[in-house]
Amino acid sequence: MKISANNLSYIAQKVKNIPHKLKREFYRIPPFQAIKEHVYQKALDNHAQFLPELDRLGESILKILRQEGTCVIPIEELQFPSTDMMMSTTFSLAEKLKTSSAEQNTSNICEVGSSPEDLREFIEMLLWALEPKLLNIIENYIGLPILYQGFAMRKSVADGQYSGVRRWHIDWEDRRIIKIIIYLNDVVPGGGPYNYISRTITQEAIKKLNYYNLGYISDEEMAQAIPRSDWISCLASKGSVVISDTSSVFHRAQPPTLYERYSITFCYTSAMPQVIWNARKISPEQWEFIDRNTNQRQKNCLHKKRLAEFI
């Protein structure tokens, strides 16, 4: 049997996940679960007094996130000064993705990410990801000091295939995660929208499916637990921002059948997550700029690992 690079990285990822899975099993044992819960609650209580104040928009996003687990908003409404620069860099990366295709990846790839030379950091993305008002909302939601884990660009090919994150799952990088998905084209039916199941119904689904050691759930299995009428599809126009706690809601990128979907995803967790992404490295020149243009609180949201090669 010929093992492709993709298969190898899939197997390596599975092996790497074993300790996490064991850890999760361990913490399902009631006394250990109780201790872990106690420590977590204490950390939340301790940090509560340091949570930043929110403006009205921030308050309303936070409320929707707490109730629903997901909120969709046009990017202009956020009124961040760095949006135009970030979006123009993002669109130029998306242009590159348009031409890079499955030819480069010989196996059947439904989701195409940036090529390795585009895996460097971009100042425009960093400045947007560290917008103080955005950090304020996320920190209030997560309830602890936060970490910006990085971004990923994606082209979702319109092949209707059910693979990877196109099937129902819950993310497990941390207890609370915020993913911000920005659509780079209009996302209509058949165009691979973000799908989710609201927070309370997800709780019901977890029980019905006995979904404790994670993994992917097929549409048929999900339909048996939760009627399709409760599956929410984030159909929205180009430039819409989907903010979602992917650790609290069942979600997936619906397989596109008619149109490709282009999107960029920014990820945030607490500063002590289960998983730290292999995020893009920040070069000394970029750091010099970031250092001058951000405050200490913004810098604290970056992991030192991303600078490690340079310091």
Ligand X SMILES: O=C(O)CCC(=O)C(=O)O
Kindly list the residues in this chain that would bind ligand X in the complex (CB under 6 A). Answer: 165, 171, 179, 181, 194, 246, 251-253, 263, 265
Q: How many CB atoms lie within 10 A of CB 161?
A: 15
Per CB under 5 A, 171 contacts Fe ion: yes
CA distance 275 to 254: 25
User: Would you state the torsion angle of the CA atoms of residues 20, 24, 29, 33, taken in this order, to the nearest 10 degrees?
Assistant: 110
Q: Which does 179 bind (CB under 5 to 8 A by kind): Fe ion, ligand X, none?
A: ligand X
CA distance 305 to 310: 10
**Taking the complex as a whole, how short is the minimal distance between the CB of residue 165 and ligand X, in angstroms?**
4
For residue 146 the two structure tokens come to 């936060």
Per CB under 5 A, 246 contacts Fe ion: yes
**Taking the complex as a whole, how short is the minimal distance between the CB of residue 111 and ligand X, in angstroms?**
9
Taking CB under 5 A as the rule, which mask of x and - marks residues 83-122 in contact with Fe ion?
----------------------------------------
For residue 31 the two structure tokens come to 């006394």
**Taking the complex as a whole, how short is the minimal distance between the CB of residue 93 and Fe ion, in angstroms?**
21
The answer to whether 307 touches 282, Cβ cutoff 8 Å, is: yes
Ramachandran bin of 254, using left for φ above 0, alpha for ψ from -120 to 50, beta for the remaining angles: beta
Query: What is the edge-to-edge ordering of all strands in the sheet holding 178-183?
Result: 70-74, 240-244, 178-183, 261-270, 146-156, 111-113
**Taking the complex as a whole, how short is the minimal distance between the CB of residue 59 and ligand X, in angstroms?**
25
Q: Looking at beta carbons only, is 267 or 290 nearer to ligand X? A: 267
Q: Which does 253 bind (CB under 5 to 8 A by kind): Fe ion, ligand X, none?
A: ligand X
Q: What's the full length of the chain, in residues? A: 311
Q: Which does 197 bind (CB under 5 to 8 A by kind): ligand X, Fe ion, none?
A: none
Residues contacting residue 107 through CB under 8 Å, at least 6 positions apart: 4, 6, 7
**Nearest-CB residue for ligand X:** 253
**Taking the complex as a whole, how short is the minimal distance between the CB of residue 171 and Fe ion, in angstroms?**
4
CA distance 180 to 221: 27
Q: Which does 121 bind (CB under 5 to 8 A by kind): Fe ion, ligand X, none?
A: none
Stretch that binds Fe ion, among 9-17, 210-218, 241-249, 254-262 (CB under 5 A): 241-249
Q: Looking at beta carbons only, is 155 or 179 nearer to ligand X? A: 179
**Taking the complex as a whole, how short is the minimal distance between the CB of residue 195 and ligand X, in angstroms?**
7
Per CB under 5 A, 149 contacts Fe ion: no
For residue 39 the two structure tokens come to 């420590």
Within 13 A of 286's CA, how many CA atoms are on the CB side? 16
Q: Which does 275 bind (CB under 5 to 8 A by kind): ligand X, Fe ion, none?
A: none
Q: How many CB atoms lie within 10 A of CB 292?
A: 7
Q: Looking at beta carbons only, is 248 or 286 nearer to Fe ion? A: 248
Q: Looking at beta carbons only, is 124 or 171 nearer to Fe ion? A: 171
Q: Which residues bind Fe ion (CB under 5 A)?
A: 171, 246
